[in-house]
């Protein structure tokens, strides 16, 4: 399995990671090596096997519909330098 | 003092032989002198450590406090610590100071344990050598030209170098057991759901589990007692009574059936590691345990299944790091998309980026069934192998890793060679079972580890067998040269 440049660009877009054109080839080679490893799965006979998403076969517990967490907005927003009136500032999205 | 077990330290504290403040100062001095050599600790919380030692001394004076009261420990830098930087070994979180404590951290604080600082780790726990940390690699105290293993390499090296009485760690594919093996210390990954993941930075949510790294199985029992708890804040935390792990440590192992999977003694295993593992198994047979040959026929599929499932979950979990609310944000973004893409390219290292890209690939339209669904089916087969095995045996044992610690750069450009380091540990995470590694000897001066795998929620059996082994042998008492 080897990935072409278009596929790597697509993955970079899906992952929201900028990839330097100069490293595209080496990134592709290493991704392809991992996908070769992963391709060993295709040889396994999994006919009729139920997929296992999680080790625990439990159902989610329900809790009473009451407020259990106070509002931490102020504490959380101390982590960002780009705050204005309690809002996070990002580059302009709408003209 | 630094060579004493947690139980011995507890006795010393209670008998006033030394105070928690003296003990804490002793470890802080060791960190100051020795850590520059190992880079195992990346944040030292001296001031708060001394303050909490004094609080613990007060408790001890009043005859209060449990097993961990006044005991200095280190936390892996994956656990959120209130007002103390929690970097997860990444540039992305180099500036992240959490406003809250992880449940594990809270449990230790409630027990009166003293936090000395935070340990180095592979970035976002992705790695088996600690070479992916933004803060530089941890050096193995047994040989500083060799890796300590990963991702909890800082915790394992810190315990080996006696920079703290013990350390917390996490294990997604072997990240407690492999570094414990390579650094000659004991480490336990509990059953999935036993320890709360709240406040523990997520890598692969269906695999991640926290556990202790310490000098002995007995110490691990004391630490797990504190770490294990039901936590309503983690919906995957299991509401189940926590047994008294110390109470069964000394139970006889006569008649205990130990399964030896033939797949764990295959071609890739270093013959000297195999010989060391066999010595420990022989010691257990002397104690009356019965060795039973078993098979885990789908073992060879565990690494391929893991490298679909873990990256898929990681790609979703790490999507939260977008430069908006916290973490690294690139300079002068031209638009929102540019901000996301450059913040993530600058904030994440190469291995983390690779796993996100792999995860995106496996989950993308047209590939989901061939990769993700297929891997989940194989995961079921792997779990079933263990279910079948535990119908015949009580625990399973084999090597923790194929070889002792390797040199820095030895697996540099080949991600797959690095991934195969976890060939014996990954299946346990996929199944959600508890696993443990304890020292079983030296190979050319470097430690080897033996792994114990237990049935669901049967950590007590692992601790019991490991403790009896450590009563009969001295491998866990060996220490790196050049240390007092």
For the question of residue B374 being annotated catalytic, the response is no
The chain-wide mean pLDDT, for chain B, equals 97
- Lowest model confidence (mean pLDDT) among A78-87, B100-109, B135-144: A78-87
* B128 within a domain of the structure (yes/no): yes
Total-model pTM: 0.97
Token code pair at residue B261: 């999977």
Beta strands in B77-189 (DSSP E): 114-119, 166-171, 186-189
Q: Is the pLDDT of residue A1 over 80?
A: no
| C-beta atoms of B345 and A41 within 8 A | no
**Structure ipTM over 0.85, yes or no:** yes
d(CA A32, CA A42) in angstroms, rounded, equals: 16
- Which domain covers residue B169, as residue numbers? 6-257
How many angstroms away from the CA of B206 is the closest CA of chain A? 6
User: Hey, CA dihedral for B91, B122, B160, B445, is it positive or negative?
Assistant: negative
CATH code, domain with B57: 3.90.1300.10
pLDDT by residue (tens digit) across B229-280? 999 999 999 999 999 999 999 999 999 999 999 999 987 899 999 999 999 9
Instruction: State the catalytic residue, choosing from B175, B186, B302, B461.
Output: B175
* B196 within a domain of the structure (yes/no): yes
User: Hey, CA dihedral for B389, B152, B137, B276, is it positive or negative?
Assistant: negative
Beta strands in B45-113 (DSSP E): 72-76
Chain position carrying tokens 């090597």: B399
* B273 within a domain of the structure (yes/no): no
**Closest in A31, A42, A82 to B357, CB measured:** A31
Instruction: State the catalytic residue, choosing from B19, B52, B76, B302.
Output: B76
How many angstroms away from the CA of A61 is the closest CA of chain B? 7
CB atoms < 10 A from the CB of B391, how many? 8
**Closest in B319, B325, B376 to A80, CB measured:** B325
Token code pair at residue B45: 């919380």
d(CA A36, CA A13) in angstroms, rounded, equals: 22
Number of domains in chain B: 1
Residues listed for chain B: 484
Contacts of B379 in chain A (CB under 8 A): 51-52
* B169 within a domain of the structure (yes/no): yes
| C-beta atoms of A17 and B353 within 8 A | yes
DSSP string, B433-482: --EEEEEEEEETTEEEEEEEEESTT-HHHHHHHHHHHHHH--GGG---TT
* B229 within a domain of the structure (yes/no): yes
For the question of residue B151 being annotated catalytic, the response is yes
pLDDT by residue (tens digit) across A29-86? 999 999 999 999 999 999 999 999 889 877 777 889 999 888 989 999 999 989 999 9
- List the single best residue of A4, A6, A41 to mutate versus B (max B Cβ within 10 A): A41
Nearest to B214 by CA among B172, B171, B173, B155: B155
How many angstroms away from the CA of B65 is the closest CA of chain A? 29
């Amino acid at each position: 399995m080897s990935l072409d440049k278009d596929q790597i660009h697509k993955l970079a877009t899906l992952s929201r990671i900028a990839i330097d054109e100069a490293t595209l080839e080496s990134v592709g080679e290493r991704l392809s090596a991992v996908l070769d490893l992963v391709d060993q799965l295709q040889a396994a006979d999994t006919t009729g096997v139920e997929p296992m998403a999680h080790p625990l076969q439990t159902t989610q517990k329900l809790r009473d519909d009451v407020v259990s967490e106070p509002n931490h907005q102020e504490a959380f927003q101390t982590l960002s330098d780009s705050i204005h009136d309690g809002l996070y500032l990002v580059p302009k999205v709408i003209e | 003092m630094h060579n004493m077990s947690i139980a011995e330290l507890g006795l010393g504290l209670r008998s006033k032989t030394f105070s928690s403040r003296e003990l804490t100062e002793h470890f802080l001095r060791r960190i100051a002198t020795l850590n520059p050599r190992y880079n195992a600790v990346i944040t030292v919380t001296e001031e708060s450590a001394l303050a909490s030692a004094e609080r613990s001394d007060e408790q001890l004076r009043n005859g209060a406090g449990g097993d961990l009261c006044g005991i200095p420990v280190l936390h892996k830098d994956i656990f959120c610590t209130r007002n103390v930087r929690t970097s997860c070994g990444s540039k992305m979180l180099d500036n992240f100071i959490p406003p809250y404590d992880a449940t594990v951290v809270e449990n230790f604080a409630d027990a009166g344990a003293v936090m000395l600082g935070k340990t180095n780790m592979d970035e976002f726990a992705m790695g088996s050598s600690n070479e992916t940390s933004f803060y530089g690699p941890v050096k193995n105290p047994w040989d500083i030209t060799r890796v300590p293993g990963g991702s909890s390499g800082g915790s394992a090296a810190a315990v080996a170098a006696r920079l703290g009485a013990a350390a917390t760690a996490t294990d997604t594919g072997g990240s407690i057991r492999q570094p414990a093996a390579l650094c000659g210390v004991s480490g336990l990954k509990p059953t999935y759901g036993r320890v709360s993941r709240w406040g523990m930075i997520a890598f692969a949510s269906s695999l991640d589990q926290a556990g202790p790294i310490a000098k002995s199985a007995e110490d691990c029992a004391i630490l797990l007692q504190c770490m294990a708890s039901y936590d309503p804040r983690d919906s995957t935390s299991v509401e189940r009574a926590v047994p008294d792990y110390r109470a069964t440590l000394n139970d006889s192992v006569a008649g205990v059936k130990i399964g030896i999977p033939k797949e764990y003694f295959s071609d890739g295993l270093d013959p000297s590691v195999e010989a060391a593992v066999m010595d420990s198994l022989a010691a257990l047979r002397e104690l009356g345990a019965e060795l039973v040959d078993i098979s885990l026929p789908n073992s060879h599929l565990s690494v391929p299944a893991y490298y679909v499932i873990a990256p898929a979950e990681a790609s979703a979990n790490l999507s939260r790091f977008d430069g908006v609310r916290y973490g690294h944000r690139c300079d002068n973004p031209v638009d929102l998309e540019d901000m996301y893409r450059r913040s993530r390219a600058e904030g994440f290292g190469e291995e983390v980026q690779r796993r996100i890209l792999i995860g995106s690939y496996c989950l993308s339209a047209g590939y989901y069934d061939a990769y993700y669904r297929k891997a989940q089916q194989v995961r079921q087969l792997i779990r079933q192998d263990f279910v079948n095995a535990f119908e015949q045996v009580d625990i399973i044992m084999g090597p923790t890793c194929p070889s002792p610690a390797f040199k820095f750069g030895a697996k540099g450009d080949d991600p797959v060679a690095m991934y195969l380091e976890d060939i014996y540990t990954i299946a346990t995470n996929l199944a959600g079972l508890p696993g443990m590694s304890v020292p079983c000897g030296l190979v050319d001066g470097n430690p080897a580890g033996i792994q114990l795998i237990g049935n669901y929620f049967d950590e007590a059996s692992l601790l019991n067998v490991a403790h009896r082994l450590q009563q009969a042998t001295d491998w866990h008492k060996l220490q790196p040269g050049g240390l007092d």
